[in-house]
Amino acid sequence: MVLQWDVIGDAGRSVLADPPRLRSVRRIIAGPRPDEAFDRLAMLVNKLVDAPMGVVSLVDVDRQHLAGHVGVPDPLGTVREMPLTHSFSRHVVVAGEMLAISDVRADPRTRDNPSIQELGALAYAGAPITDPDGLIVGALCAIDREPRVWTPSEITLIRELAEVCSSEVCLRIARAAADEARQGAESAHQQLEVLAELTESLAATMDVEEAMRRLGDVVTTRLADWCVVTVTDGPRGPAHVSATHRDPARAADMARLAELGVRSRADLRAMVRAVRRTRALRTTDGAADLQSRLHDAELAEITARAGFGASLLVPITSPVRQPAFGAVLLVKEPERAAFTAAEERTAAEIGRRAGLAVENSRLYREQRHVAEVLQRSLLTELPVIPGVGLHARYVPAQDGTAVGGDWYDAFAQPDGSVVVAVGDVAGHDIEAAATMGQMRNLVRGNAYGRLDDPGVLLSDLDQALQGLRVPGAATAVLARVCRSWSGWSVSFASAGHPPPLLLLPDGTVQTWWVPPEPLLGLPPREPRSTSHRFVPPGSTLVLYTDGLVEDRERLLDEGVAAIAEVLRAGAGLPPDELCERLLAAATSGNDDIALLLVGLD
């Protein structure tokens, strides 16, 4: 095959053929089978940017792998790869930055690309996907079959999604590197059991402190009498120290040792420096070597009481961050035999796995932050409407990093009425967020400018969801608020959603239970019904998702009653404070919460 090297030049060829970059690409190539995570990212590009094709591309030396895609026709869509001559994303890899082309036929880099004829690709926007070392392995891209000018918001969204994709790539490379290390390790049966137990223990938590405590429990059961685990986040970053002894009577000493270790940054840095350039540091007489390096007198005294015999110091590293950013000190009491070479290899692997646990915790926090930012970017900015006070909150679930499907919305109608809605798409992932965005926009487009009852609007929405094949199902409540001669009238319809609550001016609370109706997105059976209520001035309508009221320990009715009691107790409070009290009453944290308060003057 003759590649178009004249388009990218020798420098570009060197970038594409870079061995470390190719190693990362080949660690994450899944072959022709579908990849759910990458396909979801491609789908999100397809839906949110309104591009016919969304692609997660990984650029190898002579071909481009479609790790995830939506809209790419067969046979390329089935085999999930194409010759490099067809790749627009290779220019992103070579340039090292975002590439947005309104018409690829007019760009000298792309005008001869065969994808123009074979795929009908005429506009391209791609953002770099990077590995843990910052090397560009491919691009997350949107492709249109018509020329288009990519807006700044579309470019920003593609960049943000590429960051999410890069986090997924980093996690996969870290796991692949760990697998390679495990496959090459030679260890006795006992050491293999240690690693298996440690892996299972560390995989069950994303908290650094808890991971260090679990590591200490495992190694003091299997390898050493006591150990110290230290992790530093740069010269001025936070320090984490954990100490564990096999003997429970030494627990107070170990707690004090950890406390002193955090204060004595010089001793922490000395431990990390001691192993930064070595695989491990093994001694037969710890009292004469490592213990003598301690600057803090009380620290030295505690280690002497614990019994400082043979010691083994190994670095905490990970494939994502180099060099060592922590260390594990394993110590045996003086009467015990020195550490063996096999134990040293096992300890070195423990250090690497501890590094992966710490790195996964960091990536978890970063992904959660990105997910929350993305989630909030999909939520509506509430309008300012005379006589109607709108206050909303969104709280993500506490048990994952994923984007959720809860939403709230409010907008004014041309006739002066106000439409408010709250909904919950099943799931806690990017697909749920994409479906949520579609449903919210369909609700707006379907309801705006129409005088129909909310039940009619939801019935029409059912047909639209079925006809447009929008995936997923959702609960929702849709309400229209109108002024009446002596207050307000509220008409609403519910699709399997928890009942609205109304806080009246005298502090009483109404729960608007209605007969249950099917979720949105399911095949409609009968026309949906609409309920009508009169609301006096000074009332507050409360719409919410089930995360506010559901709990494994109680029924839905009990959860609704508990929230109603919070409303009664909070009558007269400012709306923002009332929101906080309602959220504080939802203690489970196992589901997302969307909350909308509608104050009616």
- pLDDT tens profile 433-482: 777 778 888 888 889 999 999 999 999 988 888 888 887 788 999 999 99
Indicate the domain borders of the chain: 5-177, 185-366, 379-600
- The number of C-alpha atoms within 13 Å of 147 and in the hemisphere containing its C-beta is 7
Quote the distance between the C-alpha of residue 398 and its chain's center: 11
CATH 3.30.450.40, domain 5-177, yes or no = yes
Angle among Cα 434, 25, 47 to the nearest 5 degrees reads 15
Please list the residues that pair with 144 across neighbouring strands: 123
Q: Which two tokens stand for residue 157?
A: 């969204």
For the segment 155-194, what is each residue's pLDDT rounded down to a tens digit? Answer: 999 999 999 999 989 988 888 887 767 655 544 556 666 7
The type of residue at 590 is N
The type of residue at 473 is A
Q: Which of 216-220, 311-315, 511-515 tops mean pLDDT?
A: 511-515
- Output the pLDDT for position 308: 81
CATH of domain 185-366: 3.30.450.40
In angstroms, rounded to a whole number, what is the distance separating the alpha carbons of residues 328 and 312? Answer: 8
- Of 57 and 3, which is predicted with more confidence? 57
Question: Which of the four pLDDT bands, split at 50, 70 and 90, describes residue 91?
Answer: very high
Question: Is residue 129 pLDDT above 90, yes or no?
Answer: yes
Please state the rounded mean pLDDT for residues 551-570: 88
Are the CB atoms for 521 and 470 separated by under 8 Å?
A: yes
DSSP code for 284: S
Looking at 28-42, 102-116, 310-324, which range is the least confident one?
310-324
Looking at 113-127, 152-166, 197-211, 360-374, which range is the least confident one?
360-374
CATH 3.40.50.300, domain 379-600, yes or no = no
Are the CB atoms for 413 and 449 separated by under 8 Å?
A: yes
- Work out whether the CA dihedral 359, 360, 366, 369 comes out positive or negative: negative
For the segment 287-318, what is each residue's pLDDT rounded down to a tens digit? Answer: 455 555 666 678 778 888 888 888 888 888 87
Question: Which of the four pLDDT bands, split at 50, 70 and 90, describes residue 196?
Answer: confident
Q: How far is CA 25 from CA 16, 94, 136, 374, 464, in A?
A: 11, 15, 9, 26, 41
- Output the pLDDT for position 145: 93
Question: Is residue 48 pLDDT above 60, yes or no?
Answer: yes
Is it true that 5-177 and 185-366 share their CATH fold? yes
Question: Is residue 64 pLDDT above 80, yes or no?
Answer: yes
Q: Which two tokens stand for residue 170?
A: 């980093």
In angstroms, rounded to a whole number, what is the distance separating the alpha carbons of residues 158 and 154? Answer: 6
What is the average pLDDT value for the chain, to the nearest integer?
A: 83
